[in-house]
């Protein structure tokens, strides 16, 4: 039986929790001061979806989100994408469409999902629920709210992307 491997890129403004999400999903840990291990391009995790073995390779950036130079190599061959913003960072929400365009300019249309992270900080939210839902509807993308800190909905995001990929 052939194993299916999917390259997933996690994009969004700095500090929305991308690295934390990848660490949480692949290693089961959450730390407040995660630093990318030099030399590691991605972490992976194997899951079973519709009785297929899927290997998800989650690519992280080294924190150069705001610079364009590295992105081409990073996006190359991506088959799925998480567009992430933070509950407490308005700019990161407003940047979602431009992140989507950036990825699609490099790799075309792939499975994507919008993720509002840090939902544990909902009391300090700077994005209204209906705004986020409206954006997801406009872009025709599934929308998840996650807390990487509390391990809420993280599994669901990646499972959805794997299922979506299999459906193509
Ligand atoms: P990145 O720049 O997008 O990779 O963001 P990081 O993963 O480095 O996270 C930035 C900061 O947000 C770190 O201090 C994390 O501990 C914190 N963080 C990540 N996810 C969450 C979350 O769900 N809730 C809260 N409260 N903090 C989070
Ligand atoms: Mg990071």
Can you tell me whether residue 142 is helix, strand or coil?
A: strand
d(CA 155, CA 148): 10
ipTM of the complex as predicted:
0.99
Residue 120 CB–ligand 1 contact under 6 Å: yes
pLDDT of residue 87: 98
Give nearest CA residue, ligand 1 atom 17: 17
What residues pair up with 4 in beta bridges, in sequence order?
A: 54
pLDDT of residue 93: 98
Counting residues of the chain whose pLDDT is more than 70, the rounded percentage is 89
Q: Give the distance (Å) from ligand 2 centre to CA of residue 35.
A: 7
Residue 35 CB–ligand 1 contact under 6 Å: no
Counting residues of the chain whose pLDDT is more than 90, the rounded percentage is 77
Q: What is the pTM of this model?
A: 0.94
* Cβ contact 139:106 at 8 Å: no
- 135-167, pLDDT tens digit by residue? 999 999 999 999 999 999 999 999 999 999 999
Comparing CA positions, the residue from 16, 4, 9, 5 lying closest to residue 111 is 9
pLDDT of residue 66: 61
Give the position, in ligand 1's atom list, of the atom nearest the Cα of 14: 2
- 19-68, pLDDT tens digit by residue? 999 999 999 988 776 565 445 578 999 999 999 999 999 998 766 666 66
Q: Is the pLDDT of residue 121 over 80?
A: yes
Give the position, in ligand 1's atom list, of the atom nearest the Cα of 63: 2
d(CA 95, CA 26): 26
Residue 22 CB–ligand 1 contact under 6 Å: no
Residue 145 CB–ligand 1 contact under 6 Å: no
pLDDT of residue 114: 98
pLDDT of residue 73: 76
Give the position, in ligand 1's atom list, of the atom nearest the Cα of 152: 23
Give nearest CA residue, ligand 1 atom 12: 17
């Amino acid at each position: 039986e052939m194993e299916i491997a999917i390259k997933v890129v996690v994009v969004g403004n700095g500090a929305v929790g991308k690295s934390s999400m990848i660490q949480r999903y692949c290693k089961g840990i959450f730390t407040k001061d995660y630093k990318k291990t030099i030399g590691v391009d991605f972490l992976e995790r194997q899951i079973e979806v519709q009785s297929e073995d899927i290997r998800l390779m989650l690519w992280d950036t080294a924190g150069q989100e705001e610079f364009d130079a590295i992105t081409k190599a990073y996006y190359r061959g991506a088959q799925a994408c998480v567009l992430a913003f933070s509950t407490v960072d308005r700019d990161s929400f407003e940047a979602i469409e431009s992140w989507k365009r950036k990825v699609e300019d490099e790799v075309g249309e792939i499975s994507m999902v919008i993720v509002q992270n840090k939902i544990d900080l909902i009391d300090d939210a700077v994005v209204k629920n209906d705004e986020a839902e409206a954006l997801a509807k406009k872009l025709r993308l599934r929308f998840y709210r996650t807390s990487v800190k509390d391990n809420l909905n993280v599994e669901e995001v990646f499972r959805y992307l794997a299922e979506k990929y299999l459906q193509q």
